[in-house]
Amino acid sequence: MSLHEQHNIPTDTEQEIRSKVEQVLKGTTFAVSSLRKLSGGTANFMYHATLEKPSTQDKYQNGVVIKQGEGYVALHPAFKIATSRCAIEYESLVHLAELPPKETPSCRISTPEAYYFNQDSNTQVQEYLSEALSLKDYALKYYAAPTPPTLKEQCEQLGHGLGSWLRAFHSWSQEPKQAALRETFAGNKEMQGLKNMINYQQLLQVVDRHPEILGDARDVLQGVSDLAARELADESALYPIHGDFWTGNILLPDTPLVKGTHTPIRIVDWEMVQIGVRPLDLGQVIAELWQLKLYKDIAAGEWLIRAFADAYGAVSDDFAYRTVIHVGVHLICFGSQTPGWGDAEQQKDVVRIGKEIIVRAWSRDRGYFVGHVLDSLFRN
């Protein structure tokens, strides 16, 4: 979950959570020999577990991931959250095992395998991708500015793979035989409401924090917030979406991509799944990729965006403008506040950019986006 990191002491101590996990898994195939805390988890306590009796099967040789869910956000213990999200993620991953992987010349994109779930304790066991980095951290490490032009083809292949995968997921989830998956996603009402709150309801609060930048666009931003609320009211126009599709939830090994190797890439963290409008999935990841350029001047961010949008394929102008609006909302509500990206002036610039593209998309100013990094969205 992409809530901002804030390292408070949880209600349950770290040791209590570890003991709970060990006790729950005792006597199962996944009895734990050792636990190592993993970075990246916001809502849950995340561990890499070495098993007491590693299976002869290769898939357990490097251990497994344990996700322990509680009734609060792990890094924001005062933020209460329903544990139903844990069962929904597990059920979703079981369904998603049927989604064919997407292959490019250098990678193979799929979802992690779900191994086990304890409904009483909300303890989940998943596939572990060894020595993995999030795409955000991977880009900061391997594509740092100035990104060598020799890496452009690799970035384009990666972006193309991710765009193709997302389009395939969106299409596949609407097939008649995926009715059970849609029912699971539709049941995640609390996460649907949370996503709307931390984006579109928060948008108006940010106006009050930056009146000098956003004040003259208050009416447009109110209209955007109202639009998002109306969308949720019409379930017939909603489709299954990942709900938290960003660079932090795309994992790949901590090693340079090499053509012909089919590097495994996993799309993780499915507890925000819901029915919603598809542009939210595109807008969130595009905003995060763009921040690589806006904050760190990493050209790879824009290469990835263009290839991603091209590979997602033709969409209507309505879809494209809605995607741009969500890019802007994400920049304002998240991109301008995430710790570690940049200084205060850079954060204000990101708010300005977010506002500008929202206003332009709201008025359907197609000419503004000609030659823009977001122009690829309009190639219908």
Q: Does domain 131-378 have CATH number 3.90.1200.10?
A: yes
Task: State yes or no: pLDDT of 380 exceeds 90.
Answer: no
**Residue 114's pLDDT band (cuts 50, 70, 90):** very high
SS (H, E, C) 203-222: HHHHHHHCHHHHHHHHHHHH
Q: Which of 55-69, 74-88, 107-121 has the highest mean pLDDT?
A: 107-121
Instruction: Report the alpha-carbon distance of residue 220 to residue 215 in Å, rounded.
Output: 10
Q: Span 137-143, mean pLDDT?
A: 97
Domain boundaries, the chain: 131-378
Residues linked to residue 72 through DSSP beta bridges, in sequence order: 80
DSSP, collapsed to helix, strand or coil, labels residue 266 as strand
Closest among 299, 339, 327 to 139, alpha carbons compared: 299
**DSSP 8-class letter at 342:** -
Q: Which residues pair with 36 in a beta bridge?
A: 48
* Residue the block writes with tokens 């095992």: 97
Of the candidates 367, 297, 294, 287, the residue with the CA atom closest to the CA atom of residue 324:
287
39-67, pLDDT tens digit by residue?
Answer: 877 889 999 999 998 766 678 888 999 99
Residue % of the chain over a pLDDT of 70: 96
Question: Would you state the structure tokens that stand for residue 22, as one six-digit string?
Answer: 């060990």
Segment 150-175 mean pLDDT:
97
The C-alpha R_g of the chain, in whole angstroms, comes to: 20
pLDDT of residue 54: 74
Q: What is the pLDDT of residue 36?
A: 94
**Four-residue CA torsion sign, 187, 191, 196, 201:** positive
Q: How confident is the model at residue 76 (pLDDT cuts 50, 70, 90)?
A: confident
What gap in Å lies between CA 264 and CA 257, rounded to an integer? 10
**Which whole number is the average pLDDT over 68-85?**
91
What is the residue-averaged pLDDT of the chain?
A: 94
Q: What is the pLDDT of residues 304-326, one digit of tens each?
A: 999 999 999 999 999 999 999 99
Residue 10 has pLDDT above 80, yes or no: no
Q: Residue 235 in 3-state DSSP?
A: helix
Q: Quick check: 3 pLDDT over 70?
A: no
Residue 258 confidence (pLDDT): 85
Q: What is the pLDDT of residue 56?
A: 65
User: pLDDT, tens digit, for every residue of 350-371?
Assistant: 999 999 999 999 999 999 999 9
Gap between the Cα atoms of 90 and 188, Å rounded: 12
Task: Tell me the average pLDDT across 7-26.
Answer: 79
Mean pLDDT calculated for residue range 205-209: 95
- For the entire predicted model, the pTM comes to 0.94
- Average confidence (pLDDT) over 272-298: 98
Query: For residues 25 and 123, is the Cβ–Cβ distance under 8 A?
Result: yes
> Is the confidence at residue 7, as pLDDT, over 70?
no
Residue 88's SS3 state is helix
